[in-house]
Amino acid sequence: MTSNRCDFLTGAASMAGAAMTPSHSHEHGHSHDHEHQAVPSDPALRVKALESLLVEKGLVDRSTLDTLIDAYETKIGPRNGARVVARAWTDLAYKQRLLADADVAIGELGYGGMQGEHMVVLENTPKVHNLVVCTLCSCYPWPVLGLPPVWYKSAPYRSRAVIDPRGILREFGLQLPDDAEVRVWDSTAEIRYLVLPERPAGTEHLTEDELATLVTRDSMIGVTNVSFPAKAATK
């Protein structure tokens, strides 16, 4: 009895294994053309089901989705934000408009749209340093910074930016003076932030285009400052 039960369990297990294997051979005497595949993970299945449903209902067009993803992955990136910052550094009136109504001022340079509809620009000064996080998920200003870096979406950054912002900044190589205040801003689906870093000393002779090349993505999230000469040029 025990061995029968054992045989049964062994048989059942191998059948179940076979059903989940991509290419098992059928030993019985007929062939059929349906596929036996490894079962995808739960979230992957849900995403696939959701995608199929949205496409089927005509709510989403696959090629439009691909175009959008390609645009934000390869065409729109932090260079847009860098141009906004460089303009603000060289044009006081623009900077004032940027701080008063970021959407309009960013729109003046031709940037805007999805995931950047309600922007707020935060100005760093010698006494105030701004740091941006999304504690809930990964809200980020796509039109000016592109897609968020992996660390921005990570749980440790999302929690530690709030609990220990100075510690996070130190890890990014930024040691703030003790008397500087750190302000942490939590992005949401409604409001996205862009940090306006301080213009580094010694850049008075640079043009707007040259200044834009100094501005890094990380400085516009607030985890670093802009340095001159650019960090890459120093050891």
**Residues identified as active-site:** 134, 137-139
Q: In which element (H, E) is residue 195 found?
A: strand 192-196
Backbone conformation region of residue 134, classed left if phi is above 0, alpha if psi is from -120 to 50, else beta: beta
Structure tokens at 37: 């595949």
Minimum distance from residue 154 beta carbon to Fe ion (Å): 13
Residues in the chain: 235
Q: Is 159 an interacting residue with respect to Fe ion (CB under 5 A)?
A: no
User: CA quadruple 16, 21, 25, 26: dihedral positive or negative?
Assistant: positive
| Cα–Cα dist 183/117, whole Å | 22
Binding-site member from 102, 121, 133, 134 for Fe ion (CB under 5 A): 134
Q: Which residue has the CB atom at the shortest distance from Fe ion?
A: 139
Region near Fe ion per CB under 5 A, out of 23-31, 114-122, 138-146, 173-181: 138-146
Minimum distance from residue 132 beta carbon to Fe ion (Å): 11
Ranges within 92-111 binding Fe ion (CB under 5 A): none
Region near Fe ion per CB under 5 A, out of 58-66, 137-145, 176-184, 201-209: 137-145
Structure tokens at 233: 């040029």
Binding-site member from 19, 65, 114, 137 for Fe ion (CB under 5 A): 137
- Nearest to residue 144, comparing CAs of 228, 78, 90, 211? 78
| Cα–Cα dist 55/61, whole Å | 6
Region near Fe ion per CB under 5 A, out of 12-20, 27-35, 113-121, 129-137: 129-137
Q: How many residues bind Fe ion (CB under 5 A)?
A: 4
Nearer residue to Fe ion within complex by CB, 144 or 174: 144
Contact status, residue 102 vs residue 112, Cβ threshold 8 Å: no
Q: Is 139 an interacting residue with respect to Fe ion (CB under 5 A)?
A: yes
Nearer residue to Fe ion within complex by CB, 104 or 137: 137
Contact status, residue 164 vs residue 139, Cβ threshold 8 Å: no
Region near Fe ion per CB under 5 A, out of 19-27, 29-37, 92-100, 126-134: 126-134
Minimum distance from residue 134 beta carbon to Fe ion (Å): 4
| Cα–Cα dist 81/142, whole Å | 10
User: How big is the CA angle at 10 (ends 7 and 14), to the nearest 5 degrees?
Assistant: 140
Q: Is 161 an interacting residue with respect to Fe ion (CB under 5 A)?
A: no
Which residues of the chain form contacts with Fe ion (CB under 5 A)? 134, 136-137, 139
